[in-house]
Amino acid sequence: PLIRLEDYRPPAHLLDRVELVFTLAPEATRVRARLHLAPNPARAAEGPRDLRLDGRLLRLVSATIDGAAIPANALVVDDEGLTVDAAHVPDAPFVWEAETEIAPEANTALEGLYMSKGMYCTQCEAQGFRKITFYPDRPDVMARFRVRVEGEAPVLLSNGNLIASGEGWAEWEDPFPKPSYLFALVAGDLRAVEDRFTTRSGREVLLQIWVRPGDEDRCGYAMDALKRSMKWDEDAYGREYDLDRFMIVAVDDFNMGAMENKGLNVFNSRYVLASPETATDADYKSIETIIAHEYFHNWTGNRITCRDWFQLCLKEGLTVFRDQQFSADQRSAAVKRIEDVIRLRGAQFREDGGPLAHPVRPEEYVEINNFYTATVYEKGAEVIGMLRRLVGPETYRAALDLYFERHDGQACTIEDWIRVFEDASGRDLAQFKLWYSQSGTPRLAAEETWRDGRYTLRLSQSLPPTPGQPVKKHMLIPVAYGLVGSDGREIDAGLIELAGASREVSWELPERPTASLLREFSAPVILQRNLGAKDRAFLLAHDSDTFNKWEAGRGAALEAIATLAGDARAEVDAEYLAALATVADDATLDPAFKALLLGLPSEEEVIGHVAGKGGVPDPTRIHAAREALTLLTAEALGDRVEALYAANAVTGPYAPDAAAAGRRALRARALALITARDPEARAARAQFDSADNMTERMTALTLLVAHGAGAEALARFFANWRDDRLVVDKWFTVQAAHTPPEAAAETVARLTEHPDFEWRNPNRFRSVIGTFAMANPAGFHRADGAGYALFIDWMTRLDPVNPQTAARLTASLGNWRLFDARRRTLLRGQLERLAALQGLSRDTGEIVSRLLRDD
């Protein structure tokens, strides 16, 4: 059934306290629940009403209301829950007691209570709690939880503070009312790495990272990131931690990145565990970001939560924005902004430009798990960045203070959020709010004229139709700009708010300026502008805005690859290549930034670029064209690449800090350019042999695999690391992503037959099948359709076992309509095959039907 925002109604019953007793056993866990319920006064006018509780895949053993049995004909259980007839439900506070039985070991969907290598753990967001016990499983029902866990495992954890424990049991109490999606339970043979943090008001907090025995020495970086996050949230947002302990658990089988359960965050182990030998700079960076993200949820998500799941961006967009600010502060803000935009354009623009497009606040869904998307998260964060820019940083902070003060302890909506900004700024934000309801990526066109000493900039917007939204209203688009003089000096800079169809601004100037538009990527739009090669090279050399300096080069690279894909003998803009040489020589640039300037867009990004200009992208030719541009760049840079490679060696023991990682990134770029000129890939081989850390080893291995020269290195790598599951994931990933296109489908098919391809483990499945579909476009989109068939075969296999992960991966086909008629026919055939699968899950079913819908 379709769930709609407009159908929202307050809950019929509210909860005050919940008491849960778990008696753990893999095949038959007993859950006793006491719910202290009361009729919701907001619905008093209705008088007595049915008690409706959500519940799925539960065996109900017994149930009472106020201690009395409920007549059999008054209690009806269905697939989604149970209903007690109003005649048997008190019109005053009452106690519901029930005992249910569940089988965590049989739970392969990894939602609710399940097992991962002998350890019990839970994932309840969004609607997993209803697989644990019958409950009003919706975020606007908040309650204080007291949990007793009984079991053989040496460690028994739940949310909040430990109040008592003994042999085989532990009792936990969480003083903060919370919705059920924030509930967590973990039990197993675990070890804690401990530390302490003192909040600025003097609260002593015990910090624990719980891992499996043997992983204790890989928690140092996560712990460090946690302490920095706690401090940062105090400094930047005035937010302090509120319990006596904060726990993180690392779990190997996890459908997502991590989960912010109150006081007991559960993490995919890949975002906790790191050592120089096993983790790359990129892994360290993700750990820092995700630890911060989950910690920041304690205020934006937990203390203030969402009224209903349509409001998901209220907590996710804001928390992503906060983790981006944190990482920008901890590392380089310039580099971070570029990385965030690359990510946005990769995943979100793809979503927004195809059949899966939906607003930042969706208005309908079949399965809410399908809406944990780049649009809700990443575009949701962009919307907050725009708000901050429009009201200014001081007013932003005042609005946030007001938000925390006004809404602490509540379940809120986007309307509440917008209102604090209106109250703090005195501005009417009704038009701005369209960013939450209109889907699709706006196009911003810029036209410039220069006549009689007058420079005129005309900005106009257009909003392409998206599913269910054929016509749209004009958005409020903040356009940060600068005008640069021919000597490189800044003539003017500021912010233009484009609110209508178009707007003109002009300046009297002694010379024609070069405009730098949409600085810092001030709005998530596609800028359409005829920027000549000269102006591009000029901005690449002179723009003081680091984002647009990079963007100028990126635009030139995209054009060059698109042109080469159309005609392999086309000329590449010489000014661009010359500008890259200037960049390589510029000793003032931060190495991490320089690595980005010298890097190329991914094939995926080129596909989006070509399609955005109305063309039909050919992944095979785009792959070849990108390789060709790499070689041209290497030739244009000449000896500089060897010099960069030598000059950026990092000596001493490996450290994951931004400066060292930046040098390694630049050195990796240099190695790629060196390798482009050498069919033997000697330098990459040498680096693979000598590397003393995983970052440099993976850089080399990636290049060897991409050159079709990886066999021997892959064998050695596997032999060395076969017992380390996170490293083995990398071994699978590098082959699925970088095997040359002609051989990729066969390689992936072979990998799926490898004894270590434990396909029920989401990380392992994603490392092969997800990587192939998302990171190897030329291999995946091979013209004979072999990639498509293989991918859908695996979706049909995964869906009955783990619908959430199957649906997520299926959604990676969001851009399938961009390709040529032949590929589209093949893709449609495969999607229809999946749609016809007997017993297809609601999750995957919704994605496939949206992918196939025609409008």
Identity of the residue, 316 or 604, whose beta carbon is nearer to Zn ion in the bound complex: 316
Q: Which of ligand ARG, Zn ion, none does residue 182 bind to, with CB < 5 to 8 Å depending on kind?
A: none
Task: Annotate 762-798 with three-state secondary structure.
Answer: HHHHHHHHHHHHHHCHHHHCCCCCHHHHHHHHHHHHH
If binding means CB under 5 A, how many residues of this protein chain bind Zn ion? Answer: 2
Binding mask 302-321 for ligand ARG (x = CB under 6 A): --------------x-----
294 binds ligand ARG (CB under 6 A): yes
Strands 443-451 and 526-529, by their bridges, are parallel
Binding mask 297-326 for Zn ion (x = CB under 5 A): -------------------x--x-------
Identity of the residue, 150 or 323, whose beta carbon is nearer to Zn ion in the bound complex: 323
548 binds ligand ARG (CB under 6 A): no
In whole angstroms, the minimum distance from the beta carbon of 441 to ligand ARG comes to 23
Q: Which of ligand ARG, Zn ion, none does residue 125 bind to, with CB < 5 to 8 Å depending on kind?
A: ligand ARG
Binding mask 760-799 for ligand ARG (x = CB under 6 A): ----------------------------------------
Span of 88-96, 182-190, 252-260, 446-454 interacting with ligand ARG by CB under 6 A: 252-260
Identity of the residue, 137 or 294, whose beta carbon is nearer to ligand ARG in the bound complex: 294
In whole angstroms, the minimum distance from the beta carbon of 784 to Zn ion comes to 40
Q: Which of ligand ARG, Zn ion, none does residue 331 bind to, with CB < 5 to 8 Å depending on kind?
A: none
Determine the distance from the C-alpha atom of residue 169 to the mean position of all C-alpha atoms in its chain, rounded to a whole number. 36
Distance from C-alpha of 127 to C-alpha of 105, rounded to nearest angstrom? 19
Reference 165, options 175, 153, 176, 178; nearest CA is 153
Give the count of beta carbons closer than 10 Å to the beta carbon of residue 846: 21
3-state helix, strand, coil in the chain (%, to 5): 45, 20, 30
Give the containing element (helix H, strand E) for 844: helix 842-852
Q: Which of ligand ARG, Zn ion, none does residue 545 bind to, with CB < 5 to 8 Å depending on kind?
A: none
258 binds ligand ARG (CB under 6 A): yes
369 binds ligand ARG (CB under 6 A): yes
Identity of the residue, 126 or 641, whose beta carbon is nearer to ligand ARG in the bound complex: 126
Using the Cα atoms of residue 772, residue 775, residue 779 and residue 781 in order, give the sign of their dihedral.
Answer: positive
Distance from C-alpha of 380 to C-alpha of 313, rounded to nearest angstrom? 6
Distance from C-alpha of 127 to C-alpha of 130, rounded to nearest angstrom? 6
Identity of the residue, 319 or 633, whose beta carbon is nearer to Zn ion in the bound complex: 319
The pair of structure tokens assigned to 171 is 């009792």
Contacts of 487 (CB under 8 A, 6+ apart): none
Active site residue 604: no
Distance from C-alpha of 505 to C-alpha of 208, rounded to nearest angstrom? 56
Contact between residue 704 and residue 684 where contact means Cβ atoms under 8 Å apart: yes
Identity of the residue, 311 or 776, whose beta carbon is nearer to ligand ARG in the bound complex: 311
603 binds ligand ARG (CB under 6 A): no
If binding means CB under 6 A, how many residues of this protein chain bind ligand ARG? Answer: 11
Distance from C-alpha of 265 to C-alpha of 263, rounded to nearest angstrom? 6
327 binds ligand ARG (CB under 6 A): no
| Helix, strand or coil, per DSSP, at residue 325 | helix
Span of 213-221, 258-266, 590-598, 616-624 interacting with ligand ARG by CB under 6 A: 258-266
Alpha helices in 279-409 (DSSP H): 281-296, 312-330, 333-343, 349-352, 374, 380-391, 393-407
In whole angstroms, the minimum distance from the beta carbon of 371 to ligand ARG comes to 8
Identity of the residue, 319 or 439, whose beta carbon is nearer to Zn ion in the bound complex: 319
Q: Which of Zn ion, ligand ARG, none does residue 372 bind to, with CB < 5 to 8 Å depending on kind?
A: ligand ARG
Contacts of 258 (CB under 8 A, 6+ apart): 265, 266, 267, 268, 271, 290, 293, 294
In whole angstroms, the minimum distance from the beta carbon of 1 to Zn ion comes to 26
Identity of the residue, 323 or 543, whose beta carbon is nearer to Zn ion in the bound complex: 323
The identity of residue 494, as a single letter, is: G
Spell out where 57-154 has E strands: 59-65, 68-69, 75-78, 81-84, 94-102, 112-116, 119-123, 143-150
- Using CB positions, name the residue nearest to ligand ARG: 372
Q: Which of ligand ARG, Zn ion, none does residue 107 bind to, with CB < 5 to 8 Å depending on kind?
A: none
Distance from C-alpha of 312 to C-alpha of 614, rounded to nearest angstrom? 33
247 binds ligand ARG (CB under 6 A): no
Identity of the residue, 125 or 140, whose beta carbon is nearer to ligand ARG in the bound complex: 125
The pair of structure tokens assigned to 530 is 């005829």
In whole angstroms, the minimum distance from the beta carbon of 581 to ligand ARG comes to 43
Identity of the residue, 475 or 811, whose beta carbon is nearer to ligand ARG in the bound complex: 811
Span of 9-17, 156-164, 253-261, 493-501 interacting with ligand ARG by CB under 6 A: 253-261
Identity of the residue, 310 or 372, whose beta carbon is nearer to ligand ARG in the bound complex: 372
Q: Which of Zn ion, ligand ARG, none does residue 726 bind to, with CB < 5 to 8 Å depending on kind?
A: none
In whole angstroms, the minimum distance from the beta carbon of 307 to ligand ARG comes to 16
* Residue 368: strand pairing partners: none
Q: Which of 125, 260, 294, 603 is catalytic?
A: 294
256 binds ligand ARG (CB under 6 A): yes
Span of 219-227, 257-265, 639-647, 765-773 interacting with ligand ARG by CB under 6 A: 257-265
Give the containing element (helix H, strand E) for 492: strand 490-498
Span of 53-61, 146-154, 254-262, 445-453 interacting with ligand ARG by CB under 6 A: 254-262
Using the Cα atoms of residue 471, residue 473, residue 476 and residue 480 in order, give the sign of their dihedral.
Answer: positive
Give the containing element (helix H, strand E) for 412: strand 411-412
| DSSP state at residue 527 | E
Contact between residue 643 and residue 761 where contact means Cβ atoms under 8 Å apart: no
Identity of the residue, 372 or 576, whose beta carbon is nearer to ligand ARG in the bound complex: 372
Identity of the residue, 185 or 607, whose beta carbon is nearer to ligand ARG in the bound complex: 185
Q: Which residue from 321, 372, 521, 550 is in contact with ligand ARG, where contact means CB under 6 A?
A: 372
* Length of the chain (residues): 855
351 binds ligand ARG (CB under 6 A): no
Q: Which residue from 126, 209, 670, 809 is in contact with ligand ARG, where contact means CB under 6 A?
A: 126
In whole angstroms, the minimum distance from the beta carbon of 297 to Zn ion comes to 6
| DSSP state at residue 650 | P
Determine the distance from the C-alpha atom of residue 587 to the mean position of all C-alpha atoms in its chain, rounded to a whole number. 34
In whole angstroms, the minimum distance from the beta carbon of 318 to Zn ion comes to 9
Q: Which of Zn ion, ligand ARG, none does residue 621 bind to, with CB < 5 to 8 Å depending on kind?
A: none
Strands 264-268 and 112-116, by their bridges, are unpaired
Give the containing element (helix H, strand E) for 576: helix 574-585
In whole angstroms, the minimum distance from the beta carbon of 294 to ligand ARG comes to 6
Spell out where 602-760 has E strands: none
In whole angstroms, the minimum distance from the beta carbon of 258 to ligand ARG comes to 5
381 binds ligand ARG (CB under 6 A): no
| Helix, strand or coil, per DSSP, at residue 588 | coil
Distance from C-alpha of 192 to C-alpha of 213, rounded to nearest angstrom? 9
> What is the footprint of Zn ion within residues 316-375 (CB under 5 A)?
316, 319
Reference 725, options 695, 757, 747, 702; nearest CA is 757
Span of 30-38, 193-201, 251-259, 473-481 interacting with ligand ARG by CB under 6 A: 251-259
In whole angstroms, the minimum distance from the beta carbon of 73 to ligand ARG comes to 36
Contacts of 587 (CB under 8 A, 6+ apart): none
**Inter-CA distances, 165 with 60, 161, 171, 208, 262, Å:** 28, 11, 6, 17, 20
Binding site for ligand ARG (CB under 6 A): 125-126, 256, 258-260, 293-294, 316, 369, 372
Residues interacting with Zn ion, by CB under 5 A? 316, 319
Residues annotated as catalytic are 294
